[in-house]
A and B are shown apart, each in its own frame.
Chain A
Amino acid sequence: MARTDPLVAPMGTAAASRAVPQTTPRALVLLGKVAFWALLIVVAFFALFPIVWLVLGSIQTIQELYGGVTLIPAVPQFQNYYIAWTKGGFSVYIPNSVFYSTVVVLGVLLVASMAGYALARIEFPGRGVILMLVLAVIIVPLPATFVALYKLLVDLGLANSRTGYIVALVTGGLPVSIFILRGFFMRQPKELEDAAILDGCSAFDVYWRIMLPLARPGLAAVAVLEFLRVWNEYLLALVLFNSEVLMPVQRGLTKFVSSDTPEQQILLAATTMAVLPVIILYAVAQRSIIQGIMEGAVKA
């Protein structure tokens, strides 16, 4: 709680200075401004420091890491990454995660956009019930189902298999994605669709050629969010995979940690590799990510 009080105080000063400028001394206004900006910057520092510290440590020698506080290593130790890649199994985990992410994103985009389109634009009996059920699934938490999901996949012969993992992840991504895409389809003008139907386009043509291109921003937002979700997924991977050759990167990382005690600098390099695609994606697409998170959380 102690941390929150200074957060509010400078705010008050800054705002008050605007409301009653004639009675507030200049020095106080300046002090308030400085405190306000200092606070913003300090919080940004705490938000960014752990990742900066991770990356800096990942290119140091074990002596630099353990000897004292080193910011920039004398010689960047990029072989840390090479060791994690070859001996840490990341040459297997990273391609696996790329594969799972790609397939799941494409699967979710196709299945969720079809359902989202129908639920937004086609009238059929039972539409409301289906929409309700899709929404109901959002509140079923994974900790309540993962043991049973494991049993189901064992019964189907899909435990410890790529197919089982992919199908489970596609399903997990559907409810929120359907919801976001349905919103996008509902906002499109009806005229284009009507004109296409009059021209004799089939329902699938209308969906594929007209509505999908219009909903491109929605598809992009869903693709980015789903990529993040699959790349960061851990619990199902932990439960489903015994074979290292099938493991995605987060699971591989904990496997590597618990193996014959790798050196700290190699662990840091491995962790950096697990997080690098996420950082790149965020740098490129933070707008989609932030917007998608707001839509998904507020409306769902």
Chain B
Amino acid sequence: MAVAAASKPRPSSRTVGRAVTGYLFVLPAVVLLAVFTFYPFIQGVALSFQSWDGVARESPWVGTANYEKVFGDTIFWASMKTALVFGLIGYFVGNAISLGMAVAVNHLKRGATFFRIAYYVPGIFSVVVVGMMFAWLLQGSVGIVNRSLGAVGLDMLQHKWLTDPSTALASVSLAYVWYHWPLGFLLFLAGLQGVPRELYEAASIDGAGAWSRFRHVTWPQLIPVTTIISVLTMLGALQIFATVQVLTNGGPGYLTEVPTLRIYKEAFVNHRFGVAAAMSVLFGLILMALALTQIWFARRSGGEGE
């Protein structure tokens, strides 16, 4: 790359020198990203038309057979729906908590730092650790949740939370909301702190009540950050993996199966890497479409704000 640039006619040798320096500085990053991100992405598409068992040197072409298998795989499509349910629960329950607590902490004159630090704690743990913690809290016989329910006489509410089909999905959702709401909280809080004070003062003089100030002053200012949080919540939910693997491993049956877990099992348990790659391609397209929507919305609302 550097050679190609140097051979082009340039006004001065200094400019050429600067350009070569620039290429040398970005070279390591570009090479790494090309080899370990772009190439696997393309190879993944190729692999989705091949058959590979994970070991063999050869991976013969099989046409669209993998995609036909994926389209016939009801468990995979059910796992998409499950992930969407996590996303919707995270979206409405998690983001409502995020927004509510951000508004509350933003009002504090004292103690705001403490609550900001405390509320973000769930966001720092690994998804494996979150799974382990909730597995213990929700443990059927001696978990603290069932023990507490028993202690206050609500024995009828006790469940084997993670293996009972009626509560497994809700239990995993609870874990997702617990570790994901702090991110939305931080971003909402940053958004609230960006709302100019004068707007509130003007609204107060006009006699606006608390709700109408929130509705007409705060909320419009929060729309860009809300878009980002919405997409991050959906992306996070769709990619949920380790928490589910640790808590239920997709069970009972396939009730809490999620796409990434399905792809993992198809490749590394069933040794059908081609089919897994086809799932990856379809799933990846959905995720990227979502992310692009975010960028598009952010650009548009950012442009209007100027």
Contacts and interface: CB of A to CB of B under 8 A. Distances in A.
Interface residues of B, number: 103
B115 A44 contact: yes
Contacts of B283: 143-144
Interface in B45-93: 47, 52, 54, 59, 92-93
A171 B37 contact: yes
Nearest to B116: A290
Given A119-B26, A293-B186, A232 B121 contact: no
B41 interface: yes
A122 B136 contact: no
Contacts of A7: 96-97, 100-101, 104
Contacts, number: 297
Given A11-B103, A118-B25, A140 B284 contact: yes
A134 B25 CA distance: 14
A15 B260 CA distance: 45
A11 B242 contact: no
A145 B22 CA distance: 29
Given A47-B118, A140-B37, A264 B263 contact: no
Given A40-B115, A293-B183, A12 B210 contact: yes
B241 interface: yes
A245 interface: no
Interface stretch (A74-82, A213-221, A249-257): A249-257
Interface in B213-243: 213, 225, 228, 232, 235, 239, 241-242
A282 B125 CA distance: 10
Contacts of A29: none
Contacts of B246: 254, 257
A53 B211 contact: no
B167 interface: no
A65 interface: yes
A66 B287 contact: no
Interface in B104-147: 104-105, 107-108, 111, 115-129, 132-134, 136-137, 142, 144, 147
Interface in B172-191: 178, 182-183, 186-187, 190
B243 to A, nearest CB: 10
- Chain B CB count within 10 A is highest, among A149, A175, A231, A279, for A149
Which residue, of B151, B235, B273, has the highest number of chain A Cβ atoms within 10 A? B273
Given A11-B107, A151-B43, A253-B128, A69 B144 contact: yes
B96 A1 contact: yes
Assign chain A's interface to a size class.
Answer: 35 or more
A47 B122 contact: yes
B186 A290 contact: yes
Contact of A53 (B59, B101, B144, B213): B144
Contacts of B40: 145, 148-149, 151-152
Given A3-B97, A118-B26, A147 B276 contact: yes
Q: Which of B100, B239, B277 is packed against the most chain A CB atoms within 10 Å? A: B100
A130 B22 CA distance: 11
A261 B210 CA distance: 55
A278 interface: yes
A114 B28 contact: yes
A19 B288 CA distance: 46
B43 A141 contact: no
Interface in A162-192: 167-168, 170-172, 174-175, 178
Contacts of B295: 139
Given A124-B23, A147-B263, A297-B232, A257 B132 contact: yes
Contact of A123 (B22, B47, B242): B22
B30 A130 contact: yes
A178 B28 CA distance: 12
A14 B214 CA distance: 13
Contacts of B120: 286, 289-290
Given A144-B41, A278-B124, 7 more contacts: A114-B25, A133-B30, A142-B239, A174-B33, A232-B129, A275-B129, A298-B187
17 contacts: A1-B96, A4-B93, A40-B115, A43-B101, A53-B133, A122-B22, A126-B5, A139-B295, A140-B288, A143-B259, A144-B41, A144-B281, A232-B129, A234-B128, A286-B120, A289-B120, A294-B186
Closest 4 CB pairs of A and B: A144-B284, A7-B100, A148-B44, A124-B22
